[in-house]
Amino acid sequence: MRAYERLLKYVTFPTGSDENNEKCPSSEGQRAFGEYLVNELKSLGAENARMDDNGYVYAKIPANAPAESGKVIGFIAHMDTVSDVKYTDVSPRIIHGYDGKDVCLNAEKGVILPALPEYKGCSLIVTDGTTILGADDKAGIAEIMTAAELLLTDKSLQHGDVMVAFTPDEEIGRGADLFDVSSFGADYAYTVDGGHHGQIEYENFNAINAKVTVFGKSVHPGEAKYGGMKNANSIAMEFDSMLPKNERPEYTEGYEGFYHLMEIRSDVEKAEMRYILRDHSDVNIKIKRAMFEKCAEFLNAKYGKGTVELELCDSYANMASMIEPHRHLIENACAAIEESGGTVDISPIRGGTDGARLSFMGLPCPNLGIGSSNHHGRYEYAVIEEMDKCVETLIRIAMKYR
C-alpha cells in the first residue's frame, strides 16, 4: 500500500486535540485512531505494538541484518490535528496530472488554492475547502507506516532495529509530556512532521508564553476625571504599543523572532492579554523577556504598583545545541534525501516541534518534511509523489543505522 492511500484512510479519523481538556490524550478521537494504528502495526508484523494509558503508540521493526553501528534509530509522528479549523467530515480529493494553475476547492464559498507551478504534472490531495486535510501529521504517520511495511517485508532492505512512535496532543504543545524515551528504545530519532520533501529542520525557536493582566478602576465616565478612573483597556493597549511593531510575526522571517499577541479579553476593570515570544537566539529571547519586564515596570510606576501583573513561562528551547554533537543525523538525512531524488533544504523551524523537547529529554531528534503544505487551514494539500519520496528517505535512513 502506498502512503497516500493510508493518508486517505487516516484523515477520516477526527483527531482534533482539546487544550481545555487536561486528560491525555485530550480527545477520544485520538485514542480511537491510536487503537487502529496498533492493530495495523500488528498486522504488518511489527513487534511489541502497543498503546499506553496516555494514548502513545509504540512499536519495533526488528533488525533483519547484523548490527554494525550498535545504534538504534526511530521515527515519530503525531496523531492529533488542530481543532480551531473544522477537522471532522474531511472529504479529500485527488487531482491527477495537476496543471500547475489555481485550484477551485469550493466554488460556493469561493475557496481557491493559489497556483503551485512547481508541482505541475504531479498528483495533489486537496480538501473540499471546508476543513483541514489533516496531512499534518497524518501524512507523516502514513509514511512511517508504509516504510515499516516495506522494511518488514522486503528482505533486501537490510536494517537494524527501527522504533516507531505516534504521539497525541502535539498541536497543543503536550506531545512530549508523557513520551517514554526509555521504553521507546531508540538512541536517536526523527520527527516526521515538516513540509515539503527534502526539508530538514534542527533549529527551532526558543519559546516563552506570557500572560499580562491589567487591573483598572471603574468610575462613572461622567465623574471619571475626579474619581480616579483607571481604564484597563487603555493601559493594555499602551502595553502593546510599547513593543517593537516591526517584531510582529507578520513582519518577520527566517531567524527573526517576534512578539505575538494571541488573545485579549478586557473591560474597564480588568484586561488579560496572552502573548507568545519567539526567537532562535538565546540572547535575543532574553532581550524579549526583559522588554516585557520593563514595560510592566514602567506602567506600574506610571499607574500605581500592582496595575500590571506579568507571568512568563519558558515553553521550549532551541534544539540545535542538542543536535550539533550528533551531526551524523543531519549528514545521513541529507544523503538519504538526495538518494531519493530530492533536494536538501535545511531551514530553521519558525515554531516548535516535539523533537525539540525530546532532544532535551535525551533523544536527539531533527525534523523531516512530509510532502505537504498549507497546514492548519482549508488550503492544506499533499503531493503524492513527494510522499513516496519521503517513504524512500525513511527507508534509506533506517538502512544507514544498521
Q: What single-letter amino acid sits at 57?
A: V
Which residues are marked as active site? 80, 170
Given a contact cutoff of 8 angstroms between Cβ atoms, the answer to whether 386 and 371 are in contact is: yes
Burial 178-206 (b: 16+ CB within 10 A, else e): bbebeebebbbbbbbbbbbbbbbbbbbbb
Distance between CA atoms of residues 287 and 291, nearest Å? 6
Q: In the chain, what is the straight-line distance between the N-terminal and C-terminal CA atoms, in Å?
A: 25
Q: What angle do CA 328, 180, 177 make, to 5 degrees?
A: 100
Judged by phi (left if over 0) then psi (alpha if -120 to 50, else beta), residue 324 lies in: alpha
Q: Residue 84, Cα to own-chain centre: how many angstroms?
A: 15
Q: Residue 303, Cα to own-chain centre: how many angstroms?
A: 40
| Cα dihedral 222, 225, 230, 232 in deg (nearest 10) | 50
